[in-house]
Each structure stands twice: as structure tokens, then as C-alpha cells.
Homo-oligomer: A and B are copies of this chain.
Amino acid sequence: MSKADRIWTAALIVIGDEILSGRTHDKNIAQLATWLQVQGIRLREVRVVADDMDAIGEAVNILRERNDYCFTTGGIGPTHDDITVDAIAQALDLPVIIHPEARAILEDYYTTRGGLTEARLRMARTPEGAKLIPNRMSGAPGIQIGNVYLMAGVPHITAGMLDALTGMLEGGAPLLAETIGCWIAESEVADMLREIEKAHSKCQIGSYPFYREGKSGANFVIRSTDEAELQSAVDTLCDGLATAGYDFTPGGI
């Protein structure tokens, strides 16, 4: 495999009882996935785990080993249920320290907001040797230790941290995608899709059915890092759908 073909992968660990209870709908999976695509990195797997030292530790040690990057969201705030730093330090066998730079950021941020209390100082705790990920939203920084990136759980704060990381991570060729939407039951074109994928070895074709306005439809998403082959697959699919007498919508429905 040439360097250009190397596929860079990432994993995400979503940490939080609030997701597993159904109370909070996660938005970070889609947010990180979309951001990673632009960096030329593929989100290969996600785990959602409870606020539990061992569950977090197990996930981080497996996922950081088998991916280029391992992200976490959640559990880095000031309250007792924020245990991500402790769990990851334990998993990496590192002590937890008060990071001097993080402490300075928080002191500055809380000067006009009631001062840096003991609880707020918790947000300056990092595994030893960590670097900070700037957070222009709420002061408390994200944390990088090795290939593990600890980010906030609140989506707009996570977004700010991703902005700070944009262009900083090495990736490969971005995965390109084209979508064709069609108001048909996907089963009607299952054979066509299979044959087009077979004939285009560098493309994956996904079929995503839906039911809206009282009728069945599907979006067909073709993905590839090879622009020419992607276009060929799109053209073949559009020709096939037209020949079979189906209307379709480039860009998806």
C-alpha cells in the first residue's frame, strides 16, 4: 500500500450515563464523523460507555491500540460524575496532575466569574504529559495524551475543540461520497446495486431506505477515495435507474 492509499482511522468513546438512559440524544457521533471525513480520517467504531472507571479504561485501551486516533466525549467537567481524566490516566498508567497551563486558563476565565473554586480546579486535572486542546467557549480545555483526545460532552463545546484541531491531525485522502435518491422500495434495485459495486472495486455502495409522506424511498450513497471511479459508479447507477424507468434525484432525497 502506498502512503497515499493508507487509511487513517479513528474511534470515539461516548462517555455518559445520560446517553445510556435515553435522557440525552447524542449529537457528537455525527459531529465527529463529519469532521473526521474532512480531515481524511475514517470513524471506524464508536462505543458508548457508562460513567464507570473500568468501562472507560477497557474501551480506551482497546481502541487507542487499533486506531490512529481515539476520541472521547463527556465527563471532563467539574462534578463528581466527571471521571474521564481519572479513568484514562489509570488506563494509561499515568498519574493525574494539575496542569499548570490549564490552571492559568481557568484562573483567567473565572476572574470575572466568581473565582477558581476547588470544584472548578478539577477541570485543570490531566494525565501527566498531556497537551491542552483550546476551548474558546467555556474556558475548560480539552486534553490530548498520546493519540487520545478528551473532549467535552456538550456538543457546541466539542465543536469549538474540533475547530481548534482542524488541520492538525495527519490523515489520508478524504472519502468522497455521492448520493442518489429514488422513490422506490430498495428491494427493486438490489441486484443493480450489487452489480455496480462488484464492477467498481474501489467504491462502497450503501442503500438507506426510508418511509416518508406515505411512500417508500431510498438514498443510495456511493463512497470512494477515487474520484474517477466514484463518478463512473454514479453514472452507471443513474443510467440503470433511467433505463428501468425510475425517476431519481441526484444529491439524495
A114 at interface, CB cutoff 8 A: yes
The range of chain A's interface size is 35 or more
Contact between B45 and A29, CB atoms less than 8 A apart: no
Give bound CA distance, A33 to B44, whole Å.
23
Contact between B81 and A207, CB atoms less than 8 A apart: yes
Copies of this chain, whole number: 2
Among B17, B48, B50, B206, point to the contact of A18 (Cβ < 8 A): B206
Give bound CA distance, A157 to B22, whole Å.
18
Contact between A187 and B19, CB atoms less than 8 A apart: no
Contact mask for chain A residues 73-84; partner B; CB cutoff 8 A; 1 contact, 0 none: 000011111100
Contact between A42 and B20, CB atoms less than 8 A apart: yes
Contact between B21 and A33, CB atoms less than 8 A apart: yes
Which of A165-173, A191-199, A226-234, A242-250 forms contacts with chain B? A191-199
Interface positions of A (Cβ within 8 A of B): 14, 16-27, 29-37, 42-51, 55, 77-82, 113-114, 117-120, 122-123, 137-138, 154, 156-157, 175, 177, 179, 185-188, 190-191, 193-194, 197, 204-211, 221, 223
Given contacts A20-B45, A45-B49, 12 further A-B contacts (CB under 8 A): A19-B30, A19-B33, A21-B175, A21-B177, A22-B37, A22-B43, A25-B27, A51-B206, A77-B207, A79-B194, A81-B205, A119-B188
